[in-house]
Amino acid sequence: MGSLLQLNKYLFRYKTKLVLGISFILVSNAAGVLIPLFIKDAIDGLRTVFSNITVYDSAKVYDIVLNNGILIFIAAVVSGFFRFLIRQTIIVVSREIEYDIRQDFWTHIQRLPLRFFQNNSTGNIMAHATNDIGAVRMYVGPAVMYSIDTISTFIIVIALMITINIPLTIYTLLPLPILSFFVYKLSKRIHKKFTLIQEKFSELTTKAQESFSGIRVIKSYVKEQNEVDAFNKLSNEYLIRNMDKVKIQALFMPLLYLIAGTSVIIVIILGGSMVINGTLSLGEITAFVVFLGYLIWPTIAFGWVANIIQQADASMKRLDKIMNEKYEIEDSAKTDFSITDINGEIEFENVSFKYNDGSDYVLRNINLKIPCGSTIAIIGHTGEGKSTMVNLIARLYDIKEGTIKIDGNPINTIPLKILRKSIGLVPQETFLFSETLANNILYGVNQKDKELVKKYSSVAMLDKDVDDFPNGYDTMIGERGITLSGGQKQRTCLARALAVEPRVLILDDSFSAIDTGTEEGILKNLSSYFAGRTSILISHRISTIRNADKIIVLDKGRIVEEGLHDELVALGGIYADIHLKQLLEEELEEIN
């Protein structure tokens, strides 16, 4: 339960509305419980008709009946009006708090390092943001509302019942705690069974996923029937688990009626005999029956609320765990806020890096100086640490061994915002938002400048393609729009990075899906637009990097070759080998 205390600060924010809501509950209940009393008065008035002792005044009785009828209606309207206000306060507050929690959650998530997103799947994070926050809301809203409602109804109704008849009150209330207990126990067991069903369902999903992914193997070995049999078996197990739940769930309503009905029967038999004895009036029995009707729903709610609270508590714990994740990469005491811009000289000094404490080194003893305004290229086989190297410059990960300096300042002393704003990193995975093309290109720029879009699209040689799009630069991209080709995506990402006019441009394999002709054009554009700025190019293709001021070859996390294109070809090492193969490929491509 402890973790739910965390919610106090949210609840406190809406204290006025909550206090109002609680008083509305009290008013509504107070008006509501009058109804049985009016019914009682009406019936007792009518009772005189049947009493053989007194001669009755029919006009007077009729007045009693009519007045009570009107009073019932008025009480109902007052009670109903305040019920409306209750929902408009308490439930609305629960949505406000849900909003606040989600807002805080997102603010927090955004600041977490890349490492967090690599260790937690998107689905997992999403589950926290939806299910767990939802469970907590159920606690703040409905659970709080029903608890107060239940308790106040109980107190008022039981107090009134006691004023009518104490022994009858005790007897009729006896079954109700049992009802509460059953609801609590049953919903707990149902919840457990439900978890089992969910497990089977996810097995079923996995099986379907597997059968469709492995369809080639299945068809090759003519194993369709096997798959169908296995799936049928799982479906059947799923059916059995569902029925397991039904066995318990089906008890719910009958038990409820049984226990609640018992109370009513007690009133009629015990109360009836009291009427016969003359210790109770007929109207009072009627009031009791109606009162019971008031108590049954709160009794059920009681057991239900207990479960909500438990689930909310578990969810809150999971949320807390994420909310306690460290930001890791942020400005600190070392940050020198007098640094307001970056020139572009980068230096690696003895940098070694591994992703996790237990894993192998991805980079070893990297020493490299990139003069301001120069173009440097990194080549090497996949998984040799090329991307890691550039990610370190933008502080997507922090290094523990060695130093990376920009303009002579260690990067952890440069304000993070300045650092990242000055570096235009185009990551290997081309990630674009489901937005218009223009908005994607202007992502890093705080103005809606059409000229900027056009300018950098033409540098990235994207402009010709855009002419063919239905709405030009306003064309939607992604699921709700057009699907760009791999090369178009890469060029859009490039234009996006160029638009912020960074001091350092880093292209992580950004030409792999672009044909060599276009690539050549882009490189030419870049060299004129970006003269004087530092560029780092990662590529598998010689054509991308042959004109760089310096080429380094990474192998197993080390710099093994370094120099100009011609020098490296002459060296006859890894670079020369890659070069030879690409020549061969080109030749093959030309054969028809």
Site for another protein in 45-104 (CB under 8 A): 45-47, 49-50, 58, 61-62, 65-66, 68-70, 72-73, 75-77, 79-81, 83-88, 91-92, 95-96, 98-99, 102-103
The strands making up 558-563's β-sheet, listed across from edge to edge, are: 423-426, 504-508, 534-538, 375-379, 550-555, 558-563
CA-to-CA distance for 421 and 330, rounded, in angstroms?
14
Site for another protein in 370-409 (CB under 8 A): 394, 396
Does 359 bind another protein (CB under 8 A)? Our answer is: no
- CB-CB contact of 309 with 191 (8 Å): no
Give the binding-site size for another protein (rule: CB under 8 A).
Answer: 141
Site for another protein in 547-586 (CB under 8 A): 580-581, 584-585
Selected binder of another protein within 198, 209, 471, 485 (CB under 8 A): 209
- Nearest distance from residue 270's CB to another protein, in Å? 9
3-class SS letters over 294-316: HHHHHHHHHHHHHHHHHHHHHHH
Residues belonging to the chain: 592
Does 332 bind another protein (CB under 8 A)? Our answer is: no
Does 323 bind another protein (CB under 8 A)? Our answer is: no
CA-to-CA distance for 471 and 480, rounded, in angstroms?
14
- Nearest distance from residue 442's CB to another protein, in Å? 11
Selected binder of another protein within 12, 54, 216, 531 (CB under 8 A): 216
Site for another protein in 421-460 (CB under 8 A): 421, 423, 425, 427, 431, 433-434, 443-444, 446
Selected binder of another protein within 1, 221, 332, 408 (CB under 8 A): 221
Selected binder of another protein within 106, 360, 400, 549 (CB under 8 A): 106
- Nearest distance from residue 141's CB to another protein, in Å? 9
Selected binder of another protein within 223, 317, 546, 579 (CB under 8 A): 223
- Nearest distance from residue 320's CB to another protein, in Å? 19
- Nearest distance from residue 205's CB to another protein, in Å? 5
- CB-CB contact of 344 with 536 (8 Å): no
Site for another protein in 495-524 (CB under 8 A): 496, 500
- Nearest distance from residue 65's CB to another protein, in Å? 3
* Angle (CA) 582 370 459, round 5°: 60
CA-to-CA distance for 592 and 587, rounded, in angstroms?
10
Helix, strand, coil: what percent of the chain each, to 5?
65, 10, 25
Does 26 bind another protein (CB under 8 A)? Our answer is: no
Q: Which amino acid is at 387?
A: S
- Nearest distance from residue 107's CB to another protein, in Å? 6
DSSP 30-46: HHHTHHHHHHHHHHHHH
Alpha helices by DSSP H, 214-347:
215-220, 224-266, 272-277, 282-323
